[in-house]
Structure 1
Amino acid sequence: MAKNLLLVEHEPLSQARIREVINKYCPDWEVNGPVTSAEELQNSLLNPSIFDLIVCSIRFSDRLCFGAFEDLQIKIPIIFIADSDEHAFRAFDFPCVDYLLKPFSDERLVRAFEKYESFSSSANSKRSRVDSSGKSFENRPFKGYKKRFLTKSGSRLSFVPVENVAYFIAEEGITFLVESGSSQKFIVYHSLNELQSELLDPDKFYRINRSMIINLDNLIEMKPYHNGRLILSLNAKTEEIIVVARERVNEFKSWINQ
């Protein structure tokens, strides 16, 4: 399907390379630009609805691209291109489809386009869901849920596939991802509310209390706990007692029996 793409890149060689890949692998896409400064970017996005995708170099000669996206609250999918992973965490504060490091191969850029088309296809498909009150939602757009999370441990950045997540936990305003098996703990820059409402598949993940979301695939067993609660064992070592809040026990039991 034809797409309307905005190319944001100030380096002529990189501009030509991206256009060449698009012409070869996505010949029906229309490329607008190139945009070469933050001011041009803001002007180009005064009518953002005309663009389906933005391919954007993070650094201009005058400043970073993020300010323009923040000012205009852009929701268009973005493929970021950068010289280092310095700005990777901030990039994922926006609708980031992928984060490419220069120099990248043609195949790597094509994979980023394929990822965008996969997310776009998922967002446009429909499915019916039922909420906890039993109300059916027909024709609700299906979300492209996260497949991996960019995480930080010390100074190291890494990606953790969503299927390797045992649970998320919020502690003193910071959200951590705990990996199944290894029980390694990583910082993720998403709140539990954002994870629950936008990023995680509700068929796989459940918020058992105010501070924790668990992955059903990593649930080993559950036992009765005092005051009508449940205590859970997951495929990860933890110092925390993993407890389902009393007011969520009935819903949780229904959820795991779906």
Structure 2
Amino acid sequence: MNIILIEDELKTAKSLENIIQSLRPDANITGRYQSVEDSVERLSKGDTPDLIFMDVQLADGLCFEIFKAVKINCPIVFCTAYDEYSLEAFKTNGIDYILKPFSKESIGEAFKKVDELKNFFQQKNIPNLESLLAKLDTPAEKTTFLVFKNQKYTTVQTSNIAFFFIRNESTCIMTFDKQEFVINQSLDQVAGAVSSQQFFRVNRQYLVNFKAIKEIEHYFLRKLLVKLVIETPDKLLINKEKSHSFLSWMEDR
């Protein structure tokens, strides 16, 4: 079994590797990546593991940015210190969600799930698990948002939203016709609910619609400056660590 570890803490990654090798001596660790950018680059070059152990919060952002840039067909075990991302994790190929500090027992249970799934598919004469995961339909993305303004409730079509952004610690919507609404969800929740093909989390404050992007410029310190068809309250800057995944997302149409 070929396994990739995506973990930005070297000590944690080494501990995980030791547990894996004690449980599965025949396992081959084929990759050890610490960032979204590095993971996207390596996986884009054809790394095809049988299983990935993945932390959620990496050095340059959330691991879910990886799925926006590359197609991953193998099962994934998420190992993280945060429990609020479990729903988004299982919208990818997640088969287990382990909270840190993990143990030999919890990692062993994750391997047991992998084995049981593979055995089930083989007994049912279904092709391998990886092929099935690749063919599964993605969960339905959110198509509308309920908003409240001027003492009235109404819905906004997701396709009409140019970008989501944070203002005064609240999540706001800006539509293509320049209407602004406040919603109750966090930006993390929104990012997990909308189409990752249509929206990209450019930074902690902004989630933008592909259709709203007008042009992209190089900026200082190898950052990217994103300009939209609608003016934003702040400059939309993408740091150098996320630039590669953003450009890959732009190209993957």
TM-score (norm 1): 0.47
The structure with the greater share of residues assigned to strand is: 1
Larger Rg: 1
TM-score (norm 2): 0.48
Q: Point out which structure has higher relative CO (alpha carbons under 8 A, 6+ apart).
A: 2
